[in-house]
Amino acid sequence: MKLYELSNGDQVYHYDKSIVCFFQGKRKVLSTSIYNGGYHEDFEAVYNHDSKLGAGMACEMLAPTYTEHMQIISKRLGLNPEKVSGMGTAADMENVAIESLSFKNLTVTAIVTGGIEVNGGRVGDPANYFQPLEKPNRPGTINIMLFIDADLPAGTLARALVTCTEAKTAAIQELLEGSKYSTGIATGSGTDTTIVVANSDSELYLEGAGKHSKLGELIGKVVIKAVKGALSKQSGLNAKNQHNVFRRLKRFGVTQQTLWTLYQEKENCVIKPVFLEACDNLAREKVILTYTSLYAHLLDQYLWELIDEEEVIFAGSALLSEIASTYDVETSALTNVSVESLMEVWSKLFINIVCAKIK
C-alpha cells in the first residue's frame, strides 16, 4: 500500500515486509548499508526490510552473504539490485515513524524503524566482532531513511549524515536507555543503518547541514521525534515507561531478581509474588524515581571523571537520606565509590522501604 508521498513527489510504499521509496527523478544517496553503501547518484530507490521469518522469530538469510541476501530481497521487491540500497532489520515495518518539517521551500522527512532493547550499546563499549575478510550479516536495529528536498554537494550530504546520527543519539540520551554491554547510556545499536537522500533536481541548493544551519535544525528535530516514535511503537521505550527505577538502574545490574536474592537474607520473608508486586508499585513512585535518577547520574559523572569520590559520597549520602526520611526507614552509609557499592546500598534501602510497605 502507499504509505507516504514526499514533498518532491517520491512515492513511499509498504509491501512484502518492506518500506520502499521510489525516486521520481535524480537523487544523491549516501548510505551506510553494507549493501550498495557509500555515495551514489544513479539509484532508483531505497528501502528498509524486515528480515524476520515471523513475529518473535530469527532473521532469515537467503544466501551465504548479506550482500547476496539483499540482492535476492531487492529482486523480490521488483527492484534492480544494482540501482538500490537497502537495510535489513528485525523491527516491524508496521511500527514505522514518519516525521516531516519544512522551512520556506525546504522540507526534511525522516522515516524510521527501530528497537534497542536487546542490541543497544554505547560507542566505545567492549566488542568482540573482528572479521576483516567477511561481511557481517546481522540486521540493522535503528534504521533511518532521511529525505532532504534540496540539492546538496557530496560533502554536505556527509555532514547531514553526521547531524542525523547526532540526533539519533540525542533521542536515546533523552530516554536514558542504558547500554546492554556496559553501565553507560546507549548511543545507538551495534547494527544501525542510515540512508540520506538529497534531491538533485531541486532548484534549492544548500551547502550547510550542521547545527548552525536551518537544514541541520530540521534534520535534528525530525530525526529525534521519529526515532522516539519508532522506539515507542516497537518496544514501548518511551518517557512514560522509563518512569521506573528498574528501567533506570538496569544498566548498573539492579533488577527485581537481584533485589529478591538480597531480600531472602532477611527473616520472615513474604512469598516472591507479593514481594515483586510491592517492588513494581514502589518503582514508579515519584519520590523514589526522582532521587534514584539523581543518584544514578552521580555515578555517571564519577565514571566520566567529572566529580571525585568524596563528592559522590557527600551527594549520594544526602540523596539516600532524603529517600529514607521520606519513607521513614533506615539506610546504610556510603563508604566507598564503585558501581557495586552504590547499587548495594541503594538496593538495601529499597528493600527496607518494600518491607515497611508490606508489613
Amino acid at 148: I
Place of cell 531487492: 74
Place of cell 515495518: 93
> Which tens digits make up the pLDDT trace of 131-146?
554 444 444 489 999 9
The residue among 123, 128, 124, 53 whose CA lies nearest residue 90 is 53
Three-state DSSP at 320 gives helix
Is the separation of the CB atoms in 350 and 291 below 8 Å? no
pLDDT in tens, the chain (359 residues): 999 999 999 999 999 999 999 999 999 999 999 999 999 999 999 999 998 766 655 567 788 888 999 999 999 999 999 999 999 998 999 999 999 999 999 999 999 999 887 778 888 888 766 555 444 444 448 999 999 999 999 999 999 999 999 999 999 999 999 999 999 999 998 889 999 999 999 999 999 999 999 999 999 999 999 999 999 999 999 999 999 999 999 999 999 999 999 999 988 899 999 999 999 999 999 999 999 999 999 999 999 999 999 999 999 999 999 999 999 999 999 999 999 999 999 999 999 999 999 97
Is 262 exposed, middle or buried, given 0-12, 13-18 or 19+ CB atoms closer than 10 A?
middle
Is 242 exposed, middle or buried, given 0-12, 13-18 or 19+ CB atoms closer than 10 A?
middle
218: which 3 cell numbers? 530540521
CA distance 139 to 235: 17
CA distance 339 to 297: 12
CA distance 223 to 221: 6
Q: Is 0.85 topped by the overall pTM?
A: yes
The torsion angles phi and psi of 100, rounded to 5 degrees, stand at -140, 140
The sheet carrying 27-31 orders its strands as: 38-40, 27-31, 193-199, 143-148, 106-113, 97-103
Amino acid at 211: K
Is 128 exposed, middle or buried, given 0-12, 13-18 or 19+ CB atoms closer than 10 A?
exposed
Q: How far is CA 322 from the centre of its chain?
A: 32
Kindly report the three-state secondary structure assignment for every residue of 222-247: HHHHHHHHHHHHHHCCCCCCCCCHHH
Res 237: pLDDT: 95
Q: Check residue 287 and report its DSSP letter.
A: H
CA distance 179 to 123: 9
Is the separation of the CB atoms in 137 and 248 below 8 Å? no
Three-state DSSP at 269 gives coil
Three-state DSSP at 66 gives helix
Contact partners, residue 293, CB within 8 Å, separation at least 6: 176, 248
Is the separation of the CB atoms in 37 and 31 below 8 Å? yes
